[in-house]
Amino acid sequence: MADPKPDTMDYYKHDEVLDIDYTPPSENWMDIKYDPAFYERRAGSWIYTTKKQHIEYLGMPNPHDWSPTDEDWGLPDNWKEIIFNGIRERLDKYRSFKIFMDCCVRCGACADKCHFYIGGGDPKNMPVLRAELLRSIYRNDFTMAGKILGRLVGGRKLTINVIKEWFYYFYQCTECRRCSVFCPYGIDTAEVTMMGRELLHLLGLGVNWIMQPVASCYRTGNHLGILPHGLKDTLEFFAEDIEDVTGIEVDIPINQKGADILFATPSGDFLAEPGTFTCMGYMMLFHELKERYGLTYTWSTYCSEAGNFGLFTSKEAMKRLNAKIYTEAKRLGVKWIIGGECGHMWRVLHQYMDTLNGEIKEGWKEAEEPKSPITGTVFENAKSTKMIHITEFTSDLIKHGKLKLDPSRNDHLNVTFHDSCNPARAMGIFEEPRYVIKNVCKNFHDMPPNTIREQTFCCGGGAGLGTDENMEMRLRGGLPRGNAVKYVHDKHGVNKLACMCAIDRATLTTVCEYWAPEVDVTGIHELVGNAMVMKGEKEQRTKDLRLDPLPGFEDAEDDDV
């Protein structure tokens, strides 16, 4: 067998990964070199660079092909000026940036809160030091003390080495905001990372795992580049499996004008297990609501993605990708919008969408304050955006007894719940998902309090870092989460990790496989789909949505093969 490569899990021995040394090196952090040899040595900890064509397609600056292992990164001649102007512009535009540059007291409260630091021990992954990477430049060239005293007061000159260092560390932050919870001034290193990445983009430096989806999403409506007929095929394929399980043929409304609701979700759920099962759960839920209560919904091909890798790129990119949601809601004449289970997507929908694209709502005649016609609940909290989270919707249905549920079908599961970073720390949606899960599964155990809710740990692959060439960082960053999962497995026998995020569903699968191999990952609406007793479904389900036999039906398997 060939030796495993750095982009596979097997390459990393557990005891080697766990041999974490928190003692900082003797060398001052400003003096460390990020030359090609460094990048070669650290394969598995950085992400392949953007292909020129995507940058070109998006009309972003300095498209070129390059690699961190090159000596010459192909920067424009006036790169320094570009960076300085970029910093100045962002200081003028963001009070947050100024405050975060000026107010840190280096108290260290944030230091051991970052999953990458916990799992890796690299001091530059302490949020405070990550921010200092940029702050040192700010200090040197934008503050009086720094201009006079320079390095003495923590300033440093902008050199190519600094850019090379930024690229490494701003792509080792998942913008999870855990550090910001603990900072006495709310300094949000995610915000600093965003600025850092925007600055790098001014020089044409980005990673392909983010920019390819951004370009695809701009063109085809979703990150994966699924074309309209492809989406239809996919959903039809899911419908077949649903029929197999339940005996019901669900409808697949696509681009239907005049539906009550537009449903938008991350495209990851069209492609990769276990997200696909969650997607089936949505289809079943909406079908059921139509059968029982006459509520209609539609998918959209133009808006076949509500996730937004623009968030990891720049405000402009985020706005460009996000605009299609309101555009499509208006075109189709729906009343309001439901968003599926996704993490970063909900940061965009909750904290950015209305500000960026709110004016598109003008002229959307059918728009209404979201009100569930089934329960009569008015979602006042979404009065302006007209978009609610699927678990807000489903928990309301369950609370009012509008769904027929048989949680015993999930009795073989012992579930815990991973709060995804963004819904947790940029929204605060904690009870809704738990309420749904507890109503569809009898066995539920939360992980320890330091690892859930606002203190939740990242999956290690957010903000565009969830790709295999970054495997080492994903495993290290996933350690705190994986460890907490392992803990509830050992203590309570947990065997399912529920999450409401498409990136989680992909990355936590890896994290669990490595750190808690007895536990696997599910979305919430997969659990709902399995527990829901649909109108007119077959007498007795024998399989779950994964087409695995339900307990007691192991032998009855495969009447259809």
Partner 1 sequence: MNVLSSLVVVLALILVVYLGVDKAGLTALFGTVLPYVAIVLFLGGFIYRILYWAKSPVPFRIPTTCGQQKTLPWIKPNNFDNPHNGFGVFVRMVLEVLFFRSLFRNTRTQIVKDGPKVGYASNYWLWFLAIAFHWAFLIVFVRHLRFFTEPIPEWILGLQAVDGFIEYGVPVFYITSVLLVVGVAGLLVRRLFSSQLRYISLLNDYFPLFLILGIALTGVLLRHYVKTDIVSVKEMTMGLISFSPVNPEGVHVMFYIHFFLVTCLFAYFPFSKLMHLGGVFLSPTRNLANNNREVRHINPWNPKVKLHSYAEYEDDFRDKMVAAGIPVDKE
Minimum CB distance to ligand SF4 smaller for 127 or for 340: 127
E strand spans, 141-272: 261-264
Minimum CB distance to ligand SF4 smaller for 58 or for 471: 471
Using the contact rule CB under 8 A, the part of the chain among 80-88, 124-132, 458-466, 524-532 near partner 1 is 124-132
Minimum CB distance to partner 1 smaller for 52 or for 98: 98
**Amino acid at position 269, single letter:** D
CB 261 within 8 A of CB 297: yes
- The listed partner (partner 1, ligand SF4, none) that binds 189, CB under 5 to 8 Å by sort, is ligand SF4
Minimum CB distance to ligand SF4 smaller for 242 or for 458: 458
**Amino acid at position 416, single letter:** T
CB hemisphere CA count around 342 (13 angstroms): 29
Phi, psi of 89 (to 5 degrees): -60, -45
* Interface with ligand SF4, residue 105, by CB under 6 A: yes
**Sign of the CA dihedral with 289 first, then 290, 291, and 292 last:** positive
What part of residues 107-126 is at the interface with ligand SF4 (CB under 6 A)? 107-110, 113-114, 116
Structural element, H or E, at residue 389: strand 387-389
Interface with ligand SF4 (CB under 6 A), residue from 58, 60, 104, 194: 104
- How far apart, in whole angstroms, are the C-alpha atoms of residue 389 and residue 519? 26
Interface with partner 1 (CB under 8 A), residue from 56, 112, 244, 548: 112
- How far apart, in whole angstroms, are the C-alpha atoms of residue 209 and residue 457? 22
Smallest separation (angstroms) from partner 1 to the CB of 538: 28
Minimum CB distance to partner 1 smaller for 399 or for 546: 399
- How far apart, in whole angstroms, are the C-alpha atoms of residue 174 and residue 193? 9
**Amino acid at position 420, single letter:** S
* Interface with partner 1, residue 551, by CB under 8 A: no
Letters for 149-188 (x = contact with ligand SF4 by CB under 6 A, - = none) are ------------------------xxxxxxx--xxxx-x-
Contacts of 308 (CB under 8 A, 6+ apart): 217, 318, 321, 322, 344, 345, 348
Minimum CB distance to ligand SF4 smaller for 176 or for 426: 176
Letters for 296-335 (x = contact with partner 1 by CB under 8 A, - = none) are -----xx------------xx--xx--xx--xx--x----
**How many residues can be counted in the chain?**
561
Phi, psi of 558 (to 5 degrees): 60, 60
Smallest separation (angstroms) from ligand SF4 to the CB of 421: 7
* Interface with ligand SF4, residue 148, by CB under 6 A: no
* Interface with ligand SF4, residue 127, by CB under 6 A: yes
- The listed partner (partner 1, ligand SF4, none) that binds 116, CB under 5 to 8 Å by sort, is ligand SF4
| Angle at alpha carbon of residue 375, lines to 373 and 379, rounded to 5° | 75
- The listed partner (partner 1, ligand SF4, none) that binds 176, CB under 5 to 8 Å by sort, is ligand SF4
Torsion of CA 171, 176, 182, 186, to 10 degrees: 90
Smallest separation (angstroms) from ligand SF4 to the CB of 129: 9
CB hemisphere CA count around 380 (13 angstroms): 0
What part of residues 375-434 is at the interface with partner 1 (CB under 8 A)? 377, 379-385, 387, 392, 395-396, 399, 424-432
- How far apart, in whole angstroms, are the C-alpha atoms of residue 214 and residue 58? 8
* Residue ranges that bind ligand SF4, judged by CB under 6 A: 104-110, 113-114, 116, 127-128, 130, 173-179, 182-185, 187, 189-190, 193
